[in-house]
Structure 1
Amino acid sequence: DVESVGEGKTFVLEGAAVVTCGRIVGFQEGIVDMSGKGAEYTPFSKTCNVVLVFEPKDGLEKHDYEKAFRLAGLKAAMYLAKCVYESGGAADKTETYEIAPFAESMKSYAGLPKVAYPYMLQTQGLLHDTYVYGIDAKRILPTILHPNETMDGAVVSGNCVSACDKNSTYVHQNNPVIRSLYERHGKDINFVGVIITNENVTLADKKRSSSFAVKIAGMFGVDGLVISEEGFGNPDADLIMNCRRAEMAGIKTVLITDEYAGRDGASQSLADAATEANAVVTAGNANMTVTLPPQERIIGFTEYVDVIAGGFDGSLKPDGSIEVELQAITGATCELGFNKLGAETW
């Protein structure tokens, strides 16, 4: 049975992550450097990782491989969580996250701007997929989620996309945008909820989803939106479309994205742009290069390093060191801010 989540108590094994490793789409896998220069850029160098390494049977279709891979990771995470929960240990700390029901929330905190969060999910297909309560998100119309539902696993990643800005399930559960909006709720904003929307590939689908997401925001009567993107290139069009529609409807926007500005940082950062996009937070330039030192122990596979997104011919050096763009480092330019990079322009 599938039941909605986001209420009650959730016990969290903070700082622990289950990492799935295998050959699904070789050119769009990622690297987690635990001790070298790359460790400064991936958030998963700071977690205690249980790594599952998968080898597929001959002839296994890639979509079936990814599904088995994904479900195995979730089962392993559930097993670890259950063991800790059943041990009966007390939590080190307790945190409370709550917002009022809509009817009450709309009237709360008079004088504070009402803010919603359009949460863009990667749904381009061909193993660029995200699941909401088990449903492929490319099949949904934008809808409302309580922020706590994401913390309890309502959104699950099935993305085999560029490593730097894919939102893993771990990142969805620990979304810093939602945490930050909660921190400011009742202080300088009235955080009214999350609007999930997708990033489909056809223009008609993009227009439909953008129109619907902004319509929901308008029905909330919000003053502002914080909009996060997942991925780059094609999804840049969705990001800018959402921004323009909202601004034209009189709703202020702040965008969160990353950049592909060339290794010198001088190229156009996004594939689309608009004058309305005048408040933008960047998670860094994915084309910046970094050299990872040789390691005594490697979990996984190195044969894709030269063809991985962010790699190039000669990335894997004879001494075992690796030179790649940040695009190849898992989570390095995460567009939810679950990373170490950023920039400010005033």
Structure 2
Amino acid sequence: PQTIRCTDTYSIQNHAVIKELYKRHGKELIFGGVVVGVASLEPVQRQRMAMMAANIIANGLGAEGAILTKVYGGMPHADLALTAEACESLGIKTALFIMLWHSIGSIADEVYFNSDSLDAIINVGQICERFILSKADRILGGPGDTRISNPDFVQKADDQSIDIEAFLLAGVIGMLGDTNTIAVEY
């Protein structure tokens, strides 16, 4: 059996940010559309994709604002940041959904990037926050011997307890605006 991961099909197909924009379309705002981009491992391609996405948002959709989200992954943060900066350079106001890796230190210590040109950076939570869950009465999505990802040791879905990081639990951390998690700095 495969490792259980965090992203579920329902959240992608029912993107909460897009649904909220549809609800407000024609009343508070005009929803111009969606631009889908691809994350790249190469810096030149990353910059090119950011400029292309910003150009489509500005000139194709004629947007005055953009909300940037992604599913998961570390390097796509850089793609989002570059796209947001490219949008801002074209006069498009941006709001950017990000996640932090750890809850150790301050938010400023953990954020991957920061730019004075961005209008809003929204932290949806710390993805490596650990949870200890008690044994489940019922397992959905696989048999009891399904491996659950843990960087420190092997564990199975029917173990007595499950030590798991937040990003591996579907619905805990949502980059698509579908959760009510709030990061608070004390």
Assess same fold via TM > 0.5: yes
1:187 aligned onto 2:30: no
The question of whether the paired residues in 2 share the 8 Å contact of 1:233 and 1:270 is answered with no
* Structure 1 residue 321: Cα displacement: 0.8
Paired position in structure 2 for 1:212: 52
User: Could you tell me which of 78, 85, 89 is aligned with 1:248?
Assistant: 89
Distance, in Å, in 2 between the alignment partners of 1:226 and 1:250 is 14
Distance, in Å, in 2 between the alignment partners of 1:238 and 1:327 is 20
Quick one: which amino acid aligns to residue 246 of structure 1? C
Paired position in structure 1 for 2:147: 304
Distance, in Å, in 1 between the alignment partners of 2:49 and 2:68 is 14
The question of whether the paired residues in 1 share the 8 Å contact of 2:147 and 2:154 is answered with no
Gaps of 5+ in 1: 1-21, 31-162
* Structure 1 residue 322: Cα displacement: 1.2
1:178 aligned onto 2:18: yes
Paired position in structure 2 for 1:148: none
SS in 1 for 2:97: strand
The question of whether the paired residues in 2 share the 8 Å contact of 1:264 and 1:288 is answered with no
Paired position in structure 1 for 2:42: 202
Gaps of 5+ in 2: none
Q: Which of 1 and 2 has higher RCO (CA within 8 Å, sep 6+)?
A: 2
SS in 1 for 2:94: strand
Q: Deviations over 1:195-249 (max 9, x none)?
A: 1111121112212211111111121322111111221321111010011111111
Distance, in Å, in 2 between the alignment partners of 1:174 and 1:295 is 27
Q: 1:182 to 1:236 in 2, by over 3 A?
A: same
* Structure 1 residue 303: Cα displacement: 6.3
* Structure 1 residue 297: Cα displacement: 4.0
TM-score normalised over the length of structure 2: 0.82
Distance, in Å, in 1 between the alignment partners of 2:121 and 2:53 is 19
TM-score normalised over the length of structure 1: 0.47
Paired position in structure 2 for 1:285: 126
Quick one: which amino acid aligns to residue 83 of structure 2? N
SS in 1 for 2:123: strand
SS in 1 for 2:115: coil
1:331 aligned onto 2:171: yes
* Structure 1 residue 342: Cα displacement: 2.7
Moved over 4 A (4+): none
User: Could you tell me which of 226, 231, 236 is aligned with 2:72?
Assistant: 231
* Structure 1 residue 313: Cα displacement: 3.4
Q: Aligned-pair RMSD on alpha carbons?
A: 2.6
SS in 2 for 1:253: strand
Q: Deviations over 1:240-298 (max 9, x none)?
A: 001111111111000112221x2435363343332223402222111222111113444
SS in 1 for 2:50: helix
The question of whether the paired residues in 2 share the 8 Å contact of 1:281 and 1:344 is answered with no
* Residues 117-132 of structure 1 aligned to structure 2 (within 5 Å): none
Q: 1:195 to 1:297 in 2, by over 3 A?
A: closer
SS in 2 for 1:272: coil
Q: 1:313 to 1:181 in 2, by over 3 A?
A: same
SS in 1 for 2:99: strand
User: Could you tell me which of 94, 110, 126 is aligned with 1:269?
Assistant: 110
User: Could you tell me which of 69, 73, 98 is aligned with 1:257?
Assistant: 98
